[in-house]
Structure 1
Amino acid sequence: MSSFNLTSPSPPKFILNGIPGLEAAHIWISIPLSTFYIISLLGNFMVLFVVAKEETLHKPMYLLLCMLALTEIGGTTCVVPKALCTFWFGCKTITVDGCLTQMFFLYMFVAIHSAVLVTMAFDRYVAICDPLRYATILTNARIAKLGLVCLTRAVLFVLPVPLLLRRLPFCANRLIPHTYCEHMAVVKMSCGDTTVDRTYGMMITFVIIGLDLTLIGLSYGLIIRSVLRIPSKKAHRKALNTCTAHICVILMSYTPYLFTALTHRFGRGIATHVHDLLANLYCLVPPMLNPIIYGMKIKELREKVEKYTGRM
């Protein structure tokens, strides 16, 4: 079988095939896809706008919400515009560098998103378990430093993914059965030894997501232990109510990601179009719903949003 190498002088292009088996429905699929994307952008930009305009919201919790919103805007924008070009205009080709760049930024935003959720769990732990020292432990400057740590960690872990792919020879079949450059879909096109790529991809999934879920679980274990020591049941509900929005976002973020990642590697009996639909829903549904959840659950944020939306 003929092959090509990504380091050749004129590297060929890849072809993003959209959702194989549902080509006739691409236009119909693009309607909810674009609708979810617009709602996601509006919701997350609204969070950024309101927090930026209101000085009373310049607090660690709201700065973390802004970080979360930025990762969701970035992650969806890495995927949706190119997918819509495929569905609407049949623009299926993507350059090798474009494919690897898309992959890098997509997974970088996923890694930052996960790290921000860990930081938010720590924020809830300090707020409930050590409220008197909250203002001194979590200052705005410290949150900014934690954000830089999240970014640095994501870049260091994700950067080897496209760099490892560049060294591989790829088969003449350049068709990616997906709407974006998903790591395993690109790896499966290689004619060379992909052991390192597969191992590293699995490793960062379990290291980043596994470690972050462990830290989140530890934080909530300590929160529950602290709450149970409070004699008042009303205080129990009040303390736990401050965590419900974060818990909902965690469930919506990690559950579909782990399902998508694991089925792509082990779910050989699942149809390709099911993989692709789930992957696209993962990229869109949590970013669309997260601002709504926080807007409903956090009274102060809801009031400020209503203040600005009421003027429109």
Structure 2
Amino acid sequence: MGAESNESLDILSVFLTGIPGLEAQHGWLSIPFFTMYIVAIVGNSLIMATVHEDTALHEPMYLFLSMLAVTEVGVSVSALPTVMGILWFDARQIDFDGCLAQFFIHTFSGMESRVLLAMSYDRLIAIYNPLRYTAILTLSCIICMGLGITLKSVTFMAPLSIFLRQLPYCHVNVLSHSYCLHSDLIQLPCADTKLSSILGLSIVLATFGLDSLLIMVSYVLILYTVLGIASGEGQWKILNTCVSHICAVLLYYVPVIGVLVMHRAAKHASPLLHTLMSSIYLFVPPVLNPIIYSVKTKPIRQGIFTLFSCKRKWL
């Protein structure tokens, strides 16, 4: 790739990075990576199928859980082709438009953050005003929230791609991950990227920052309500309904914060550490959330058992 002139985006290629220092072991490493993808996709698809098939689960809490599963399947599927392409075939080159298409990772990740916020609101209503729980969170309300979450995520992420397409690229374009992230791509243009960087930071603050703050506020109100209306045993019983959601929040936000810190404050850290943090960000929530909800939520366990029982009868 020449450095003397701006390259046409029609021919511009981006080169992805595998696992630094472990390139010779990519074949073996593909086994656990592919296993995690299968677990994430199958586990979350199973949650969606269970909620869809079992009418007893057509309640706000489980409908939001199904939305969460959709976003996690979306994140996994968005990254799967390039990650496995590198590990299996050393296919590191991707055209620029194909790289921008992987911004669906950001879109689904933003949706996941807002679904977690909606789930915290669901828990707050269920605990603060249980008698009006289903009256407030009606099916039409939940559908509107789902559509709003989707529209907001797409609207927020689209400008990032538009701004990046306007910038000139005139040197070798090597990313530090095996998939395309805005924080990685913004390092490549040979022009002032301040506006795009500010836009990206603003979107991060308006999504992950605001969502996490509102989730914290929700749990402060939940804790205040529980301490005021329940006995010691009742308090634990009520808070136990929030354990799965709290785990989902931690599994999501801890890796997200780690990736953001690595890109903005630890650029010179070991490339392997960057890869490790990005892998945790991609794999941990989609793999563990279905397991946690299946273990901690009895109706989900029963629904999965019923689903498999029905399948065996048909067979």
TM range (shorter): over 0.9
After superposition, the C-alpha distances for 1:144-174 in whole angstroms (9 at most, x for unaligned) are 1000110111111111111110011113212
Alignment match, 2:259 = 260
Report matched runs for 1:1-312 at 5 Å: 1-5=3-7, 8=8, 10-103=10-103, 105-309=104-308
Q: CA deviation at 1:231?
A: 4.3
Q: Is the 8 A contact 2:60 2:134 kept in 1?
A: no
Q: Normalising by the residue count of structure 1, what TM-score does the alignment of the two structures yield?
A: 0.95
Task: Give every structure 1 segment of 4 or more consecutive aligned residues whose post-TM-superposition deviation is greater than 4 Å.
Answer: none
- Structure 1: distance between partners of 2:272 and 2:185: 16
After superposition, the C-alpha distances for 1:12-65 in whole angstroms (9 at most, x for unaligned) are 211112223321222222221111110111110111111111111111111111
- Structure 1: distance between partners of 2:116 and 2:48: 17
Q: CA deviation at 1:256?
A: 0.6
Q: Normalising by the residue count of structure 2, what TM-score does the alignment of the two structures yield?
A: 0.94
2:90 counterpart letter in structure 1: G
After superposition, the C-alpha distances for 1:216-264 in whole angstroms (9 at most, x for unaligned) are 1111111100100124111101110000000000000001111111211
After superposition, the C-alpha distances for 1:109-141 in whole angstroms (9 at most, x for unaligned) are 011000000000000000000001101100111
- Structure 1: distance between partners of 2:290 and 2:84: 23
Q: Is the 8 A contact 1:227 1:236 kept in 2?
A: yes
- Structure 2: distance between partners of 1:17 and 1:248: 31
Q: Is the 8 A contact 1:19 1:177 kept in 2?
A: no
- Structure 1: distance between partners of 2:52 and 2:71: 17
Moved more, 58-67 or 108-117: 58-67
- Structure 1: distance between partners of 2:221 and 2:284: 30
Q: CA deviation at 1:3?
A: 4.3
After superposition, the C-alpha distances for 1:81-106 in whole angstroms (9 at most, x for unaligned) are 22101111122111111101112x11
Moved more, 51-60 or 66-75: 51-60
- Structure 2: distance between partners of 1:61 and 1:107: 24
Q: Is the 8 A contact 1:47 1:291 kept in 2?
A: yes
Structure 1 residues 265, 9: closer, same or farther in 2, change over 3 A? closer
After superposition, the C-alpha distances for 1:255-275 in whole angstroms (9 at most, x for unaligned) are 111111121111034111210
